[in-house]
Amino acid sequence: MGSLQTPTNLSNKSCLCVSGRVVRGLRVERQVGLGFSWLLKGRRNRKVQSLCVTSSVSDGSSIAENKKVSEGLLLGAERDGSGSVVGFQLIPHSVAGDATMVESHDIVANDRDDLSEDTEEMEETPIKLTFNIIFVTAEAAPYSKTGGLGDVCGSLPMALAARGHRVMVVSPRYLNGGPSDEKYANAVDLDVRATVHCFGDAQEVAFYHEYRAGVDWVFVDHSSYCRPGTPYGDIYGAFGDNQFRFTLLSHAACEAPLVLPLGGFTYGEKCLFLANDWHAALVPLLLAAKYRPYGVYKDARSIVAIHNIAHQGVEPAVTYNNLGLPPQWYGAVEWIFPTWARAHALDTGETVNVLKGAIAVADRILTVSQGYSWEITTPEGGYGLHELLSSRQSVLNGITNGIDVNDWNPSTDEHIASHYSINDLSGKVQCKTDLQKELGLPIRPDCPLIGFIGRLDYQKGVDIILSAIPELMQNDVQVVMLGSGEKQYEDWMRHTENLFKDKFRAWVGFNVPVSHRITAGCDILLMPSRFEPCGLNQLYAMRYGTIPIVHSTGGLRDTVKDFNPYAQEGNGEGTGWTFSPLTSEKLLDTLKLAIGTYTEHKSSWEGLMKRGMGRDYSWENAAVQYEQVFTWAFIDPPYVR
């Protein structure tokens, strides 16, 4: 289908009337009806104004000529200061000027609110809205990454850009004097400086820019981002000035769409800000408190995306003045700890919590799975914010993360010994024997090989594996664990390897190629996490035909479907096993069931593998769901105090 054009000179153009009919090869889907069904409210049984969209027709012909349009509502182009189209708006026919129009059929509402009806399948792309989207994040792969947040903000923007949206990602320009600095080699200084007022002083920030994969990657440059370590800390712990560093990021991100001429013109004020986790949670507050009272960003919207609610950006109450918010907005971020959580008897428990403020004023709230969106509304999963989140449940949604299906693809993966696919699984056996050889384990293709990949801490349930290992080692299995974290668990892994030299291997640290080889070579992947907002390793495992055994929580429960060998007329269904409660006994019971299926029911095991490999894990699938939430965000007016 041709590009949308302003309804002025329409020679050799076709006119699509949103009436539920197909006109000249253009199809109106129910998606359009949802967007404009409000036009029919209160107008039943009488003539309703028409809605026209112009579109080029490949053969150059027009639908009708020399006809007049009466009572037309036109979808006209909205342009920014440079004259570029940034959106479309409804224009009454009375103000449409003297433009020559082709015929627009009248829409008659005969006691129905739908604007669409079933039509024959056409090849043309359905009409959809596009947005100017600003991701604000502390990390974005491949430039910076410590976990799932970096993966999301490195992949989702590209998927949205591929679907026609204009997308900017704003994150810090981390420089630590090492090889990782080369990741910013293609980012150029835009020679634009912005002054940010926070922490009692004026801070100047610079902006670097790289255009890659259809996305504007913008990096905020400031001396506070130039130091050894991760984005959040070093070997001595978290940086003491993280509140300053991410307050600076939020202020700079709000300025970026206004001052950066990317591709020749700025993003402008009509943007959708996607603030990720507490590091960017100040963005919705700044829009409401700093900009809208002065008429700036009055048409912008904000969404706060919660990747891990355990981290909320809580700081002492005396730091409020550092945030750059007006004094009267203190209540939005005020947070008082309960008596039992205070450090001592004289502690008043008064703090500021920027994530709390973002949840209160953002237009929509997103989490990275449907299960997690429910869990954070409970006292057990909400970390003190469950009541506030419950009060905003009408704007709370969960969308499961996607994965990079090009990087994680067993048929092309450069890190594994042999390629394989859902139609030819023979290469997986080669990957298994190659992994056993690499790790120094006895090469036994028929022995169940169980893997774990992840951070070694309490959240990931490593203590549950620790308790289960002595009994598990009595079975004919092999186990490999890859990860780093708390020293007690690292030391335990090394000790266990010495005890079970023919059955257990520990790889302390993290290595991307090895993680790919473990995912491809293992038969089973363990994820006994206490809570898991989404989880990615179980998605990687299923993509590679490795069966996940997971604790029934958050995104793990959403993505892993329990195996039922009797469903589908005996063909079976499911992609793995979930277990609850989180105990070593329940984990062992589930493992024994899985091991029995592996050794005694090969056809059922192959069905498990193929069902997991056949699922759609792409970011394209997630991007479609994000678009729906973006549309909802613009239905209601933004927060104004």
pLDDT in tens, 278-310: 999 999 999 999 999 999 999 999 999 999 999
Nearest one of 106, 94, 128 to 39, comparing CA atoms:
106
**How far is 232 from 217, CA to CA, in rounded Å?**
20
> Mean pLDDT per 10-residue run, the chain (641 residues)?
38 38 35 35 36 40 38 48 51 41 40 43 60 97 89 95 97 92 95 93 96 97 94 90 96 97 94 97 97 95 96 94 95 90 86 97 96 95 95 96 93 96 96 96 96 93 96 96 93 96 93 94 97 94 98 95 84 92 97 96 95 93 96 90 69
Enclosing H/E stretch for 622: helix 619-633
With a CB cutoff of 8 Å and minimum separation 6, the contacts of 26 are 1, 14, 16, 55, 122, 124
The DSSP secondary-structure symbol of 191 reads: E
With a CB cutoff of 8 Å and minimum separation 6, the contacts of 261 are none
In a domain, 67, yes or no: no
In a domain, 416, yes or no: no
Same-domain check for residues 430 and 393: no
pLDDT at 396: 97
- Structural contact between residues 20 and 116, judged by C-beta atoms closer than 8 angstroms: yes
Residue 609's Cβ-side half-sphere holds a number of Cα atoms within 13 Å equal to 27
Measured at the CA of 490, the angle between CA 487 and CA 494, to 5 degrees, comes to 135
What is the distance in angstroms between the CA of the first residue and the CA of the last residue of the chain?
43
Write the single-letter amino acid at 474.
Q
CB neighbourhood size of 520 (10 A): 30
Same-domain check for residues 267 and 395: yes
Same-domain check for residues 453 and 598: yes
Q: Which residues pair with 17 in a beta bridge?
A: 52
Same-domain check for residues 484 and 455: yes
In a domain, 145, yes or no: yes
Write the single-letter amino acid at 418.
S
439: helix, strand or coil: helix
pLDDT at 121: 46
In a domain, 80, yes or no: no
**How far is 210 from 194, CA to CA, in rounded Å?**
18
Same-domain check for residues 247 and 298: yes
Same-domain check for residues 384 and 484: no
Same-domain check for residues 229 and 187: yes
- Split into its structural domains, the chain has a count of 2
- The secondary structure of 533-585 as a DSSP string is SS-SHHHHHHHTTPEEEEES-HHHHHH-PBPBTTTTTTT-B-SBEEE-S--HH
Q: Which residues of 132-164 are buried (b: 16+ CB within 10 A; e: fewer)?
A: bbbbbbbbbbebbbeebbbbbbbbbbbbbbebe
- Structural contact between residues 287 and 297, judged by C-beta atoms closer than 8 angstroms: yes
Structure pTM?
0.77
Domain residue limits at 176: 132-312+355-402+625-635
In a domain, 61, yes or no: no
Same-domain check for residues 215 and 253: yes
Question: What CATH number corresponds to the domain at position 446?
Answer: 3.40.50.2000
**How far is 410 from 509, CA to CA, in rounded Å?**
24
pLDDT at 76: 52
pLDDT at 154: 94
Nearest one of 475, 455, 500 to 594, comparing CA atoms:
475
Same-domain check for residues 139 and 214: yes
In a domain, 142, yes or no: yes
CB neighbourhood size of 231 (10 A): 22
Relative to beta strand 524-527, strand 547-551 is: parallel
**How far is 319 from 315, CA to CA, in rounded Å?**
7
Same-domain check for residues 244 and 137: yes
Same-domain check for residues 137 and 216: yes
In a domain, 111, yes or no: no
The DSSP secondary-structure symbol of 318 reads: G
Residue 473 φ/ψ, nearest 5 degrees: -70, -10
pLDDT at 421: 96
Same-domain check for residues 601 and 630: no
Taking the CA atoms of the chain, what radius of gyration do you get in angstroms?
28
Nearest one of 289, 272, 329, 254 to 640, comparing CA atoms:
289
pLDDT at 147: 81
pLDDT in tens, 242-251: 999 999 999 9
In a domain, 599, yes or no: yes
